[in-house]
Amino acid sequence: WKMPANRSWMKAHRRSAEFRSGVDEFVAVATNHVNADGLARCPCMRCLNVNFHTPATIRVHLFLSGIQPSYNPWYFHGETFSQPAVELPENDEEEMADVLADMLRGDPGFDESANTTDSFNEPPINDNNKWSNHSFDMLLSILIDLFPEGTKLPKSHYESKMRLRNLGLGYDSIDVCKYNCAIFWKENEKKEFCPVCGESRWVKRKGKGKKVPHKVMRYFPLTPRLKRLYCSRHTAEDMRWHYSQRPKEDGVLRHPADAEEWKQFDRLHPSFAVEPRNVRLGLATDGFNPFGNMSNSYSLWPVICVPYNLPPWKCMSSESLLLTLLIPGPSSPGKDIDVFMRPLIDELKQLWETGVETRDAYNGTVFSMRAAVLWTINDFPAYALMSGWSTKGYMACPTCNEHTPSIGLNSKIGYVGHRRFLEMSDPRRRSKKVHGKTEKRAPPPVMTGDDILTQLD
C-alpha cells in the first residue's frame, strides 16, 4: 500500500474538498492497518491516537473534530518512522582538553604533552562509591604503573583535590555563631567566643579531642570562578556574546541585555559599560530540605550567581550557575542572612570598585575585570530576607513601602485602596460601592535608592 505523499489537507478547512479527499485517503490507509478486532487508532483531536475505533467511526471523528496536525508521519498506521541520526560535534573531547589546558598553563606541574582529561576522571568515582582515601591512593599508584610513561596523573587523593582547587573549585569553611550573630572570619577568625552574644564557638564535649563548631558555612569564592570563565578561549568568546553577537532589534527581548534595566544601568555607569567583558550577575537564593524527608525539618540556603554575559541558552544552564554560599540550617537564616552574606558582599564590593586582573584566553590580553549584581531572583518570602523589608503585616508591599494601603479584618489583614493607582479623572474613583467612600488620594510615592538608605540609617 502506497502512502499518500500530500499531507497539506491536514491543515485545511474541514468543509473543503481538499479535506474530504484527504480523509478518504487516510481512512483507506487505516482500513489496511486494523488490528485483529478490525479497529485502528483514531488521530482526531479528541482521541489523539489513544482510542481505537472502526474506520467508519474514525471518518466521522475526523469531520467532527479534525485531525491532529502534528501527526506526520502516520507511524500508527503503517508508515515507517525514522529518527534522524544525531551528529555529535567531533571536537567535543578536543575542546574539553583545550579548556583544561588553557586553565592549567600556569600550574608548574602541568605537562601540556600529557593527556589532560585523564587526570580528572577519578574523584567522582571516589565520591559515588564511597571509597576510602587510602584505597583511592592505591588505585592511583596502580594506574600510574599501567599508563604510558609521561602521563601526568595525580599521585594521591590529596593531590587530585589540589589540582581541582587550582581550577577554582575550592571552598572555605567558615564557623558561625550558634545563634547566627556573627561569623568567625577575618577579624573574628581566631576568637573562641561570639563577639556579639559571647556564646562559645565550639560544641561542649566531655574529654579531649578535636573541637567541633556549632555551625559551619561553606563559602565558594566568586572571583576565581569568574576568572575561570576567561581562562578558556571557548568560554571567553561566549562572555562577549551579549555585546558582539547578540542580534540587536528594537522591541525584541532575546537576552537580559535587551531589557530596559540593563540599558539604564549602562547609562548610569558608563565606565563599567565601556568594557563588555565586565560581568553582569543575577543573585538567587532560597531554602530547601536537602534530606528530602519533609518530616525532618531542615532548611539549607544556597546562594547562586548567574552570569548574564553568556548567551541565553547557556547563562541559565546548570553548568553556568555559580554556587557562592551554602548557609547551614537547621532553620532559615531569617533576618540574619546579612551575617552570612558578608564574605560575598565584600568580594562583590572589591569586584565593583577595583576589579581584578584577568587573562583573556580568547585574545591573550590581560584586563581589569569588574562585576556588578543587576538584580536578585527570589520568591516573596526570600525577597523579604534579601531586601530587609518584611513582606508580612500591614506594610507588606515593598513597592508601596510605609504607604501600603491596608486595613485590619478581624484576625486577617486586607490590602485595599487599589483605586489610588487609577488616573485622577477615572470615574471609578468617584464610586461609593467600595466601603461607601470615594478615592481622592494620589498613588503612593515611588521610593528612590536614597530614600531606602535613609530608612536603613
For residues 272 and 278, give the distance between their C-alpha atoms in angstroms, rounded to a whole number.
7
pTM check: above 0.85 = no
Between 337-353 and 222-229, two packed helices, what is the crossing angle to 10 degrees?
A: 40
Alpha carbon 73 to chain centroid distance? 37
For residue 361, give every residue at least 6 positions away whose Cβ sits within 8 Å of its Cβ, in sequence order, or none: 102, 230, 231, 232, 233, 236
Are 173 and 144 within 8 A, CB to CB? no
Q: What is the pLDDT of residue 249?
A: 77
Q: What is the pLDDT of residue 454?
A: 85
For residue 311, give every residue at least 6 positions away whose Cβ sits within 8 Å of its Cβ, in sequence order, or none: 238, 241, 242, 245, 246, 255
Q: What is the pLDDT of residue 121?
A: 44
For residues 93 and 82, give the distance between their C-alpha atoms in angstroms, rounded to a whole number.
28
pLDDT 10s digits, 117-130: 444 444 445 455 56
* Exposure letters 80-102 (e unless 16+ CB within 10 A, then b): eeeeeeeeeeeeeeeeebbbbbb
- List, in sequence order, every residue forming a beta bridge with 305; answer none if it has no partner: 283, 322
pLDDT 10s digits, 54-70: 999 999 999 998 888 88
Tell the residue number behind the cell numbers 549584581, with chain if given: 373
pLDDT 10s digits, 180-218: 999 999 999 999 999 999 999 999 887 777 889 999 999
Are 352 and 276 within 8 A, CB to CB? no
For residues 120 and 167, give the distance between their C-alpha atoms in angstroms, rounded to a whole number.
11
For residues 169 and 58, give the distance between their C-alpha atoms in angstroms, rounded to a whole number.
60
Judging by DSSP bridges, how do beta strands 279-285 and 371-377 pair with one another? Answer: parallel
Render each residue's pLDDT in the chain as its tens digit; 457 residues.
567 888 888 888 888 999 999 999 999 988 988 898 999 999 988 888 888 999 999 999 999 988 888 888 887 888 875 544 434 444 444 555 565 566 555 554 555 554 444 444 444 454 555 667 888 888 888 888 777 777 778 888 888 877 777 666 678 999 999 999 999 999 999 999 999 999 999 998 877 778 899 999 999 999 999 998 998 888 999 999 999 888 887 778 889 999 999 999 999 999 999 999 999 999 999 998 887 766 578 889 999 999 999 999 998 898 899 999 999 988 889 889 999 999 999 999 999 999 999 999 998 899 999 999 999 999 988 888 888 888 888 888 888 888 888 888 888 898 888 888 899 999 998 888 887 889 888 888 888 888 888 887 7
Provide the mean pLDDT of the chain. Answer: 84
Tell the residue number behind the cell numbers 587530585, with chain if given: 160
What does the block give as the cell for 88?
555529535
The pair phi, psi for residue 200, each rounded to 5°, is -65, 145
Q: What is the longest distance spanned by two Cα atoms in the chain? A: 93
For residues 347 and 275, give the distance between their C-alpha atoms in angstroms, rounded to a whole number.
20
For residues 165 and 159, give the distance between their C-alpha atoms in angstroms, rounded to a whole number.
10
Q: What is the pLDDT of residue 111?
A: 53
For the chain, give the number of residues: 457
Angle at 41 between CA 37 and CA 46, to 5 degrees: 130
Between 122-129 and 157-164, two packed helices, what is the crossing angle to 10 degrees?
A: 120
